[in-house]
Amino acid sequence: MEFALFSDDFFEAKESEQKEQAAPQSTWAAHRSEPGWFHEVCERACESDVSFNMKHLRANHLYFTGSYPEAVCAFTELVKLMRTGNHQREVAEGLARSLLKLGDTRLSLEAASQLKLSCKSEAHFASYHMLCAEIHQKIGDHSKELIHLQQAIKIHAMNTDMWLKIAECYSQISRIDLYSVPFTLSKTKDATWFAAASLLRVEIILKSLVGRESGGALKKKRNQKLQNRVHPVVASLPPIFISKAHEALCRDVFNLEFQTQDESEFVDLGSSKLNKTGENEESVATMASERQGDWFEKQWFSFADSIQDVYYVPQVKMCDD
Q: Who wins on pLDDT, 96 or 46?
A: 96
36-45, 55-64, 114-123, range with the lowest pLDDT: 36-45
Partners of 6 in the beta sheet? 3
Residue 275 lies in a domain: no
Q: Are residues 166 and 92 in the same domain?
A: no
Residue 224 lies in a domain: yes
- Mention every residue, 6+ apart, whose C-beta is less than 8 A from residue 114: 79, 88, 92
Q: Are residues 293 and 167 in the same domain?
A: yes
Residue 27 lies in a domain: no
Of the spans 30-39, 195-204, 253-262, which averages the highest pLDDT? Answer: 195-204
11-20, 27-36, 283-292, range with the lowest pLDDT: 283-292
pLDDT of residue 49: 43
Q: Who wins on pLDDT, 243 or 118?
A: 243
Is residue 99 a contact partner of residue 107, using CB atoms and an 8 Å limit? yes
Q: Are residues 162 and 254 in the same domain?
A: yes
Residues 82-92 have a mean pLDDT of 75
130-139, 143-152, 308-317, range with the lowest pLDDT: 308-317
Query: What's the Rg (C-alpha) of the chain?
Result: 29
Q: Are residues 193 and 247 in the same domain?
A: yes
Other C-beta atoms lying within 10 Å of the C-beta of residue 63 = 20
Q: Are residues 87 and 220 in the same domain?
A: no
100 has a pLDDT exceeding 80: yes
- Peptide bond between residue 239 and the one before it cis (omega within 30 degrees of 0): no
Residues 238-257 have a mean pLDDT of 83
Of the spans 76-90, 229-243, 259-273, which averages the highest pLDDT? Answer: 229-243
Q: Are residues 301 and 205 in the same domain?
A: yes
pLDDT of residue 165: 96
What are 158-197's pLDDT values in tens digits?
999 999 999 999 999 999 999 999 999 998 889 999 999 9
Structural domain harbouring 100: 38-118
Q: Are residues 183 and 113 in the same domain?
A: no
Q: Are residues 95 and 228 in the same domain?
A: no
pLDDT of residue 41: 52
pLDDT of residue 294: 80
Q: Are residues 251 and 300 in the same domain?
A: yes
Q: Are residues 43 and 106 in the same domain?
A: yes
Three-state helix/strand/coil letters over the chain = CEECCEEHHHHHHHHHHHHHHHCCCCCCCCCCCCCCHHHHHHHHCCHHHCCHHHHHHHHHHHHHCCCHHHHHHHHHHHHHHCCCHHHHHHHHHHHHHHHHHCCCHHHHHHHHHHHHHCCCCHHHHHHHHHHHHHHHHHHCCHHHHHHHHHHHHHHCCCCHHHHHHHHHHHHHHHCCCCCCCCCCCCCCCCHHHHHHHHHHHHHHHHHHCCCCCCCHHHHHHHHHHHHHHHHHHHHCCCHHHHHHHHHHHCCCCCCCCCCCHHHCCCCCCHHHHCCCCCHHHHHHHHHHHHHHHCHHHHHHCHHHHHCCCCCCCCCCCCCCC
Residues 233-259 have a mean pLDDT of 82
pLDDT of residue 26: 54
Residue 231 lies in a domain: yes
Q: Are residues 170 and 222 in the same domain?
A: yes
What are 255-304's pLDDT values in tens digits?
654 444 333 333 434 333 444 444 444 444 444 444 544 889 888 998 88
Residue 315 lies in a domain: no
Q: Phi/psi of residue 310, each to 5°?
A: -70, -15
Q: Are residues 293 and 218 in the same domain?
A: yes
Is residue 273 a contact partner of residue 228, using CB atoms and an 8 Å limit? no
Share above pLDDT 90 across residues of the chain, in percent, rounded to a whole number: 44
140 has a pLDDT exceeding 90: yes
The domain that holds 95 is classified in CATH as 1.25.40
Residue 185 lies in a domain: yes
Q: How many domains would you assign to the chain?
A: 2
Residue 17 lies in a domain: no
CA-nearest of 228, 145, 142, 159 to 198 is 159
Is residue 204 a contact partner of residue 245, using CB atoms and an 8 Å limit? no
- Mention every residue, 6+ apart, whose C-beta is less than 8 A from residue 199: 163, 164, 167, 178, 230, 233, 234
Of the spans 117-121, 152-156, 253-257, 276-280, which averages the highest pLDDT? Answer: 152-156
Residue 282 lies in a domain: no
